[in-house]
Amino acid sequence: MTTVRQMFALQELDIILDRVQNDHRKAEHELNNGETIGNLEAQLERDSERLLETELKQRATKLEAESQKERSETLNSQLYGGEVTNPRDLESLEHEHSNVLKLVEEHEAALTEITQKIEDAQTKKNELESKLGEARAEWEVRQAQLQASLKELRVEREGFEGQRTKLTEVLDPVSLEHYEKLRKSKGGLAVARVQRGLCQGCRMSLPTHQQQRVRSGRQTVLCSSCGRMLFLS
C-alpha cells in the first residue's frame, strides 16, 4: 500500500530533480548562445561599416574641395592676369569666384566635421575591439566552467532519476497517477505538510476531524481547501 510518507519522499526527489533540470537548461542555454560576444560583434560590424562610409564621404568631399580650389585659382588668374578687360566679363568672373570661394569654405568646414566624426568612430571602434577581446577571453573560461557544470549536473540528475525509479516501482499506479496530476496542477507540490493545524500548501486551517485522520495515517487525506495530499511528519 502506498503511504503519504512515500509520496512525500517522491516529491522531495522531484523538487530536487526540477532544480537540477532547471540549472541544466540554464547552463545549456548560456553555453549555446554567448549573447555578449554576439552583441559586441554585431555592434563592431555596424560601427565598422559606418566608419567606412564616413571615410568614403571624406575622400569625396576632399576631392570636391580640391577641385573647387583649382577652379578658384583659375578664376583668380583670369581676374587679375589682365587677359579679361571687359567690365561685364570681369563682373561675371568676380561673381563666379565669390561663389566658388563659398563652396571651398563649405567643403573645408564639412571636412573638419567629417574628420572629427572619423576620429570619434575610430576611438569607439578601438574600444569595442578591446572589449570584444576581453569578452572572448572571459567566454573561454566561462565555457569551460559551464561544460564542467553540465557534466556534474548530468551525473547528479542520473543519480536522482535512479532513486526516483526505484521509489516509483513500489508505489501503486493509481496513487502515482493521482500524485502526478496533483503535482502538475498545484505548481509542483502535490503533498503538503501539516503544521499547527494548517495546510502548508494553502495556509488554510484544517477541520479537527481532518487533522485526526491525518494523524492516524491509515489513509490518504486531501486538504479540504487546496486538494493536496496531507502529510504529518
Does 2 have pLDDT greater than 70? no
Quote the CA–CA distance of 178 and 56 in Å, as a whole number.
72
Share of residues in the chain with pLDDT > 90 (%): 77
Query: In this predicted structure, what is the pLDDT of residue 171?
Result: 92
Distance CA 106, CA 87 (A): 29
- Where residue 90 falls among pLDDT bands split at 50, 70, 90? confident
Residue 11, domain member (yes or no): no
Same domain, 132 and 41: yes
Q: Is the pLDDT of residue 1 over 60?
A: no
What is the spatial distance between Cα 153 and Cα 151, in angstroms, rounded to a whole number?
5
The domain of 123 spans 34-169
Looking at the chain, the whole-number percentage of residues with pLDDT higher than 70 is 99
The answer to whether residue 33 scores a pLDDT higher than 80 is: no
Residues 177 and 100 in one domain: no
Asked if pLDDT for residue 138 goes beyond 60, the answer is yes
Once rounded to an integer, what is the mean pLDDT over residues 194-218? Answer: 91
**229: phi then psi, degrees, rounded to nearest 5:** -70, 135
Question: 50 and 103, same structural domain?
Answer: yes
Residue 228: name the closest of 199, 190, 197 by CA.
190
Q: Clarify whether residues 190 and 215 are in a common domain.
A: yes
CA dist., res. 206 & res. 89, Å (int): 110
Claim to verify: residue 157 and residue 177 sit in the same structural domain: no
Whether residues 159 and 200 share a domain: the answer is: no
pTM of the shown model: 0.63
Measuring CA to CA, which residue among 226, 156, 217, 155 is closest to residue 8?
217
Cβ atoms < 10 Å from Cβ of 93:
17
